[in-house]
Amino acid sequence: MENLNEKCAIFGVYGKGIDVARLTFFGLFALQHRGQESSGIAVADGSDIKRHKDHGLVAQVFTEEAIDSLKGHIAIGHNRYSTSKGSGTEHIQPMVVGNGALAFAHNGNLPSTRALEEFLQGKVENTAGLSDSCLMAHAIHWYMEQGKALPDAVTAAYPLFTGAFSIVAMTKDTLVAARDPKGIRPLSLARLNGGFVVSSETCAFSTIDAKFVREILPGEMVTIDESGLSEKQIAEGEQKLDIFEFIYFARHDSELMGKSVYEVRKNFGKTLAREYPIDADVVVGVPETSLPCALGYAEQSGIPYEMGLNKNRYIQRTFIQPDQKLRDKSVKMKLTPIPGVLKGKRVVVIDDSIVRGTTSKPIIDLLFEAGATEVHFLVSSPPIRFPDFYGIDTPAQDSLIAYGKTVEEMRAAIGATSLHFLSLEGMLRSTGLPKESFSTSCFTGEYPVDLKERYDEINYPSDVSISSTSPKQMEPG
């Protein structure tokens, strides 16, 4: 089964008298960072479901005409992240199944779909090649065919969903939103003009002037229909938000578990400065995610923060593959140095993560080419040694640069003067939240949702410690 749902965004709205398709467009536009491969909106008007979807960025997929054709009072939308696998149009969400009876969109990933496939055997013609999201939609629809209303159908199918999921589902007259029992992917609820909105991230609420109400809880489902909002805990919840939402994935202006993503990233930088004080002249962040971390490092260390790297703000996914020569330059298409900031300087550069290690070396080369005398590469998360199965798209374990390598070996591979990673404890402490409320699987190999047959894909190295350069003792706070 291919992982087709990495790094996605979901959005839903219920409201009479609201132009729900237009609103969903702006919601998805605000959530563009969670997925750039394709986008779709489905709208229900009480008697029918209509949908528009295509490959491309939100602003490319929807024209004024497309939005105008989607009339109704309920909408769900989805942005999908680019992946080399399964890019066919049939995988673009929202899915619509049962001849327009159900629309469904999913953020997350089910590492094991065995239970779903077994359940659907004999009920759906052929499950081979169906994505996990499609299987989920079929399972819900099967229960609807047995006479269950949408909320009851979701409740009945829920135990078959073994993995990470935040979902929105819609019939012609009802909207449902739910989160997996560990709340691995985020999902929040807001009010708007007498109606309700749900969104992967709170940043979308600011765009559309919706008033944040609360996060949907792990294991909870909310239903919105003619009679208003109803809430139901369908499974016991235990919050295990993927810490990667704070590290890389969420937008700075979102809030997760009551914490500003911006503030937490700044704290990551401050903690890095306490763990790894470095004699340097300037602190630089790799745009965009790491900029608050660099600010935090600068504030804590007293070393001036400068914009040493400029990001081309029009960089976006194109569907034209660059040739090899251009691909080698792809970092330069995105990032260029500001030589005046770097020439003759000892530079601390901060990035949020190292995954394959393919971008770190060209960034370090850029900084040296621009005249830096030392480049200390600091990472605001620990080494990623384990693959992700819950929807963040970190690759197979042997493609991870930190797998089986010491920090010194990694430093040599990327050509930095020194390389340091934020400690696991320091990272968790910087969130200001209990450490038990996070999934840290890609750093620790501890997976809060059973991976079943997928455990075979993981090696637990015994010979490599998490960090070969020990951080300084943390100060409290």
- Catalytic positions are 8
Whether the upstream peptide bond of residue 471 has omega within 30° of 0, thus cis, is: no
Q: How far apart are CA 49 and CA 424, in angstroms?
A: 46
Nearer to ligand AMP, 358 or 459 (CB): 358
Q: How far apart are CA 32 and CA 409, in angstroms?
A: 36
Nearer to ligand AMP, 248 or 443 (CB): 248
Tell me how far, at minimum, the Cβ of 277 lies from ligand AMP, in Å.
23
Nearer to ligand AMP, 15 or 391 (CB): 391
Chain residues binding ligand AMP by CB under 6 A are 7, 248, 286, 289, 351-360, 392-394
Nearer to ligand AMP, 69 or 358 (CB): 358
Q: How far apart are CA 171 and CA 162, in angstroms?
A: 23
Tell me how far, at minimum, the Cβ of 356 lies from ligand AMP, in Å.
3
Nearer to ligand AMP, 25 or 248 (CB): 248
Nearer to ligand AMP, 136 or 350 (CB): 350
Tell me how far, at minimum, the Cβ of 85 lies from ligand AMP, in Å.
14
Nearer to ligand AMP, 74 or 354 (CB): 354
Q: How far apart are CA 450 and CA 428, in angstroms?
A: 22
